[in-house]
């Protein structure tokens, strides 16, 4: 039995490695014609003219994710604090299952909801406040849809994390004369910090690779966005939009594979770094 489980483990690990190798192998034709640094810093995407600049897509991915996080993180932390510290048991027992249901909604529905509600709202209400005229298909729309998509995963993990803070710590802080809010700020959040960061990292990994919901609302213009009211073009959208149509043009195919590899490496590296940070934090807290 021991060997069997070991073999299964090897198989599942090798899948990841095979994906990495396969993507690299497929990207080679592009590396032969261009150097990587130029690919990553070029601003012009025009495959038929032999210009493969990936910077607009990298910028698009980062900006949509950033907007989503700016919206989601404060809301999720406050929500989970309310649910664990202030909310009644009944409230918690109704809200949490509901949030888990939200997590199961397929992305394409979020995309449709974005097209039907968020995009027109930005076009006719939000953008005029800032005196901008836009179609509504923007980085902001992508960010909002993405934020709503990562709410459930963030909140449910954060609630679990906050539950693990020992009651003794809270009681000690309260008995020293700290108010409830001071206790939350100084004791609970501090103690739960590594867990909260882990929740955020998980949510980012999910946000980075989200394809359909974002490509339906973000505008898909391959230019570097200068404001949240510009259209953007994330990497997953690039792959989804062009894969079916362009496989017959060799270098284009290779460029799409390279963008897949890019996504793979970014997420892999990101998770690695966050893992290291988390290990350090945990060591500091428990040591």
Cα(200)–Cα(215) distance, rounded to whole angstroms? 22
Touching another protein, residues 131-190 (CB under 8 A): 133, 135-137
CB neighbours of 69 closer than 8 A, spacing ≥ 6?
147, 200, 203, 204, 207
Interaction of residue 240 with another protein, rule CB under 8 A: yes
CB neighbours of 7 closer than 8 A, spacing ≥ 6?
none
Residue 215 in contact with residue 237, Cβ under 8 Å? yes
**DSSP code of residue 42:** -
Interaction of residue 35 with another protein, rule CB under 8 A: no
Rounded to the nearest angstrom, the gap between the alpha carbon of residue 101 and the centroid of all alpha carbons in its chain is 19
Residue 65 in contact with residue 140, Cβ under 8 Å? no
Radius of gyration over every alpha carbon of the chain, rounded to an integer in angstroms = 22
Residue closer to another protein by CB (options 241, 274) is 241
Cα(287)–Cα(269) distance, rounded to whole angstroms? 27
Position among 56, 87, 194, 219 found at the interface with another protein (CB under 8 A): 219
Other CB atoms within 10 A of residue 264 CB:
16
Binding mask 109-128 for another protein (x = CB under 8 A): ------x---xx--x-----
Position among 66, 96, 102, 246 found at the interface with another protein (CB under 8 A): 246
CB neighbours of 35 closer than 8 A, spacing ≥ 6?
none
Give the range of 9-17, 80-88, 152-160, 272-280 binding another protein by CB under 8 A: 9-17
Residue closer to another protein by CB (options 224, 246) is 246
Tokens representing residue 182 in the block = 């001071």
Number of residues binding to another protein, judged by CB under 8 A: 42
CB neighbours of 130 closer than 8 A, spacing ≥ 6?
229
Position among 58, 67, 69, 215 found at the interface with another protein (CB under 8 A): 215
Residue closer to another protein by CB (options 141, 184) is 141
Interaction of residue 129 with another protein, rule CB under 8 A: no
Q: Is 87 helix (H, G, I), strand (E, B) or coil?
A: coil
Position among 23, 30, 39, 45 found at the interface with another protein (CB under 8 A): 45
Interaction of residue 11 with another protein, rule CB under 8 A: yes
Position among 105, 201, 221, 224 found at the interface with another protein (CB under 8 A): 221
Whole-number minimum distance, CB 224 to another protein, in Å?
A: 15
Whole-number minimum distance, CB 133 to another protein, in Å?
A: 6
Site residues for another protein per CB under 8 A: 1, 3-4, 6-8, 10-11, 15, 18, 45-49, 115, 119-120, 123, 133, 135-137, 215-216, 219-221, 231, 233, 237, 240-250
């Amino acid at each position: 039995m021991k060997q069997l489980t070991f073999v299964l483990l090897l198989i599942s690990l090798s899948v990841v490695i095979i994906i990495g190798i396969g993507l690299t192998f497929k990207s080679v034709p592009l590396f032969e014609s261009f150097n990587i640094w130029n690919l990553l810093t070029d601003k012009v995407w025009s495959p038929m003219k032999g210009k493969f600049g990936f910077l607009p897509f990298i910028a698009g991915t980062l900006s949509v994710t950033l907007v989503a996080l700016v919206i989601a993180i404060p809301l999720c932390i406050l929500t989970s604090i309310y649910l664990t510290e202030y909310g009644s048991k009944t409230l918690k027992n109704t809200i949490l299952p509901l949030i888990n249901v939200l997590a199961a909604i397929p992305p394409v529905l979020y995309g449709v909801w974005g097209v039907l509600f968020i995009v027109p709202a930005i076009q006719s209400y939000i953008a005029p406040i800032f005196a901008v005229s836009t179609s509504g298909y923007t980085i902001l729309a992508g960010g909002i849809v993405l934020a709503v998509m990562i709410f459930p995963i963030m909140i449910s993990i954060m609630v679990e994390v906050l539950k693990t803070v020992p009651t003794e710590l809270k009681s000690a802080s309260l008995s020293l004369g700290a108010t409830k809010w001071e206790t939350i700020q100084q004791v609970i959040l501090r103690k739960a910090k590594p867990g909260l960061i882990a929740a955020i990292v998980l949510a980012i990994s999910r946000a980075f690779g989200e394809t359909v919901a974002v490509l339906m609302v973000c505008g898909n213009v391959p230019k570097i966005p200068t404001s949240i009211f510009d259209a953007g073009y994330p990497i997953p959208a690039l792959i989804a939009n062009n894969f079916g149509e362009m496989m017959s043009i060799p270098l284009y195919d290779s460029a799409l594979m390279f963008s897949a590899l890019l996504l793979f490496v970014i997420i892999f590296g990101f998770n690695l770094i966050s893992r290291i940070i988390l290990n350090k934090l945990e060591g500091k807290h428990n040591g």
